[in-house]
Copies of this chain bind each other. A is one copy, B any other.
Amino acid sequence: MPNAATQPLFEEAKRLGIGFHLGYAELAWQDGVKHRFNTAIIVDKAGEIVGKFRKIHIPGHHEVLDRPGQHLEKKYFEVGDLGFPVYQAFGATCGMAICNDRRWPETWRVMGLQGVDLVFCGYNTPVGLGDPYDLDALTLFHNQLSFQAGCYQNATWAVGVAKAGCEEGFNMIGQSMIVAPSGEVVAMCNTIEDELIVHNCDFTRSREYKRDIFNFANHRRPEHYGLIVERTGAEEPDA
């Protein structure tokens, strides 16, 4: 990045003095080995790339399932190898998540522990793939809940950006939103067409949370969190 397709975007952003966040499928050669990552970058107002993230929580399946729609992200992408880094941009400590990462509190907490002020998260979330209907019916609720909880529990702003529309016969949700450190949604798209939402994010708003209720140094107890890094999955209760 930028490549030929995105060069005009970088140039126009620089001309206007507007930074941006961009997700893409990344083909990376590392030590002679080809890797495919689900990647995003932060570009500052000067048009410079200041941060990169590779999606950690790859959902879906490795193989085609017997159901109406497929979700083969595990087949096509590797788990990211950069962790959850934060970067200085826009006068704030910025981090990134991609799509399914937003549902995992670990995503938010690892950035929260680095003092994140603003999290960018793009998502392409379809409905109708063949999940139980009650999961589909709750997709918008779960999208919003994930952003609100991540912001509140880490006293950070977040910008969630949906790619809406229809892909390969399946509709994707919209609901792009900007969420405050209080967990309140301060702006949200209300169509599934192209739409622009704007909010002036005050990065001092998180300080009352970080100073008191979510003063991590005062209240967190990592000595009791060991399982979070020691255990991958839950044991079956009746095993």
Assess the A182–B105 pair: CB atoms within 8 A. no
11 contacts between A and B (CB under 8 A): A104-B153, A104-B220, A105-B149, A106-B220, A106-B228, A142-B152, A145-B149, A217-B232, A217-B233, A222-B230, A225-B228
Q: How far is the CB of A149 from chain B (nearest CB, A)?
A: 3
Q: A80 to B105, alpha carbons, bound, how many Å? A: 23
Using an 8 Å CB-CB cutoff, how does the interface string of A72-92 with B read, 1 for contact, 0 for none? 000000011001101010001
Shortest distance in angstroms between A132's beta carbon and chain B's nearest beta carbon? 5
Q: Which of B132, B135, B234 contacts A114 (CB 8 A)?
A: B234
Report chain B residues within 8 Å CB of A110: 224-225, 227-228
| Chain A 100-156 interface residues, beta-carbon cutoff 8 Å to B | 100, 103-106, 108-110, 112-115, 117, 131-132, 134-135, 138, 141-142, 145-146, 148-149, 152-153
Residues of chain B within 8 A (CB-CB) of A184 are: 138, 141
> Any chain B CB within 8 A of the CB of A237?
yes
> Other CB < 8 Å A-B pairs besides A115-B234, A216-B234, 17 of them?
A57-B220, A59-B219, A100-B219, A104-B219, A113-B228, A114-B237, A134-B182, A135-B213, A142-B152, A145-B149, A145-B152, A145-B183, A149-B153, A216-B233, A217-B232, A222-B232, A226-B229
B113, B213, B218, B228: which contacts A103 (Cβ < 8 A)?
B213
Closest-CB distance, A97 to chain B (whole angstroms)? 12
**Residues of A bordering B, CB below 8 Å:** 56-59, 79-80, 83-84, 86, 88, 92-93, 100, 103-106, 108-110, 112-115, 117, 131-132, 134-135, 138, 141-142, 145-146, 148-149, 152-153, 182-184, 208-210, 212-222, 224-237
C-alpha gap A224/B78 in the complex (Å): 14
Inter-chain CA distance A108–B149, complex, in Å, is 13
